[in-house]
Amino acid sequence: MTLSPDNPITLCTPPRVLCADGARLRIAPLCRRLGWRRALVVTDRWFVQHSAEFGGLLAALRGHGVAVHVFDGGAPDPSTTLVDEATQWVAREGVAPDHLIAWGGGSNIDLAKALSVTIPNARPVGELVGHADWPVAPLPLVAVPTTAGTGSEITPGAILVQPGSATKVALMANGLRPAVAVVDPELTLTCPARVTADAGLDALTHAIESWLTKDAIDFDVEGDPDPGYSGRSELTVLFAREATALVFRHLATAFEHPQDRQARRGMARASLYAAMSYATAGLNAVHGLAYALAGLTHASHGSTNAVMLPYVMDALVDVRRDELAEIARLAGAQGADSLALARSAPVLTRELVRRVGIATDLVAFGVAEEDLPRLVADGLAVKRLAKAWPGGAVADDYARIVRHAFHGELSGCRRR
């Protein structure tokens, strides 16, 4: 698949990306080299109480002359309320960090990103959402993921739950990309099977969704000279393709044999490469509808992405046939009929979802048929994602996707 030579190429990443076994051991000396002396470490209580690696980080920082304060109130799907509470805690404690370190899953990293803005600006996060011209620039952030999937260590966004809203809100700007992304596969060895599956399918969603999204030449950046997301290019597709191949090769093994280091390394790279793609190309219907589904069911982000992904892929068979045929080949399919291959890609993706124990239709999530219009409406309300839909009429397509996801219908396999 070759994009038009007129298609723009953009790639936005953190200044430093470290990916290796033991990469976490470079954090303390690197912080000192960069001149940082006061760290606010953002994590959750599990790591404080149970992680020897986390304890090692704190000791190493102090050993290198970096003062440390720890906020351990991280929670799944951080809310705007949590961000404001953490900001107030920092003020009460008299903490004046010159950098932040996020340790944990994407939720902890997103919380730290938000704090990197609210702390220097001393304002509630609700006043900072929706624009990127903040009075004071974000504090630098070192992001250390302990799962292989979210990619938040690369992206320009902090996704937050807005209490009272059916969908999530985002702080979004290239200035929110971490200064250092530290991807250490050894930190994923203790991930429970469910977390491995959720995170791994999140990575697959990032890869495939950004591979199939709108071309950069057609992407509406609304006049922004420095957009966080700007559509796919040949460069983002290279990362997306490699990430997709790695997930199909390694996720089931990492799920079934969690101490398999080769599988863990493969998934760490898959997550990183997927993030290198989607953190510039952007996402569309899978995430838009997954946010709506999470608002309705409170199911995990990885699982809501996973259930929607095959049906979104199927809706794009006519406009992304060659890409979907290639995805099918990466999943192990053979043959010369590109249409048949394209239709098999969603089926093979759904088989992987089922293999790692995640439900494959909306009924299994407890969704009733009368909930479907609400899912469509809430998905469309995430306009930054709906505008990137590369298919036909977005409202009609979303309605069709949701209906097929409810009934478990794919064109390559009519019933699950």
Residues 210, 328 share a domain: yes
* Segment 95-134, tens digit of pLDDT: 999 999 999 999 999 999 999 999 999 999 999 998 888 9
Residue 410 and residue 350 in contact, taking contact as beta carbons nearer than 8 Å = yes
User: Is the pLDDT reported for residue 166 higher than 90?
Assistant: no
In a domain, 102, yes or no: yes
Query: Is 238 found in the same domain as 372?
Result: yes
Query: Can you give the pLDDT at residue 416?
Result: 45
Amino acid at 82: L
User: Residue 339 sits in a domain of what CATH number?
Assistant: 1.20.1090.10
Tens-place pLDDT, residues 189-246? 999 999 999 999 999 999 999 999 999 999 999 999 999 999 999 999 999 999 999 9
Q: Is residue 203 part of a domain?
A: yes
Of 135, 132, 97, 93, the closest CA to residue 115 belongs to 97
Give residue for tokens 């107030």: 88
Q: Is residue 414 part of a domain?
A: no
Asked if the model's pLDDT at residue 414 lies above 60, the reply is: no
Q: The domain that contains 164 carries what CATH number? A: 3.40.50.1970
Asked if residues 342 and 317 have their Cβ atoms less than 8 Å apart, the reply is yes
Look at residues 154, 171, 188 and tell me which one is the last residue of a structural domain: 188
Domains contained in the chain, number: 2
Confidence of residue 302 (pLDDT cuts 50, 70, 90): very high
How would residue 293 be classed by pLDDT, with cut points 50, 70 and 90? very high
Burial degree of 235 (CB within 10 A; 0-12, 13-18, 19+): middle
> Are 369 and 317 in the same domain?
yes
pLDDT, one tens digit per residue, over 18-59 is 999 999 999 999 999 999 999 999 999 999 999 999 999 999
- The tens digit of pLDDT for each residue in 233-283 reads 999 999 999 999 999 999 999 999 999 999 999 999 999 999 999 999 999
> pLDDT at residue 415 above 70?
no
Specify whether 258 is located in the same domain as 164. Answer: no
Name the domain boundary from 164, 188, 212. Answer: 188
pLDDT by residue (tens digit) across 13-24? 999 999 999 999
Q: Are residues 244 and 146 in the same domain?
A: no
Q: How far apart are CA 416 and CA 407, in angstroms?
A: 9
Among the three residues 170, 188, 206, which one is the final residue of a domain in this structure? 188
pTM for this predicted structure: 0.95
Kindly state whether residues 104 and 172 are assigned to the same domain.
Answer: yes
d(CA 269, CA 23): 13
Structural domain includes residue 416: no
For residue 89, the model assigns a pLDDT of 97
In a domain, 103, yes or no: yes
The answer to whether 412 and 347 are in contact (CB under 8 A) is yes
Query: In terms of domains, do 146 and 227 share one?
Result: no
Q: Are 147 and 188 in contact (CB under 8 A)?
A: yes
Cα 410 to Cα 84: distance, rounded to the nearest angstrom: 43
Residue 161 placed within a domain? yes
Task: Quote the percentage of the chain above a pLDDT of 90.
Answer: 94
Residue 174 and residue 244 in one domain: no
pLDDT in tens, 347-391: 999 999 999 999 999 999 999 999 999 999 999 999 999 999 999
Domain span holding position 30: 16-188
229 in the same domain as 298: yes
Q: Are residues 223 and 146 in the same domain?
A: no
Residue-level pLDDT at 4: 83
Instruction: Flag whether 251 is in a domain.
Output: yes
- 352-365 in b/e form (b: 16+ CB < 10 A) is bbeebebbbbbeeb
Q: Are residues 199 and 178 in the same domain?
A: no
138 pLDDT more than 90: yes
User: Do 292 and 172 fall within a single domain?
Assistant: no
- For the cut 80, the answer to whether the pLDDT of residue 167 exceeds it is no
Residue 4 within a domain: no
Output phi, psi for 116, to 5 deg.
-65, -20
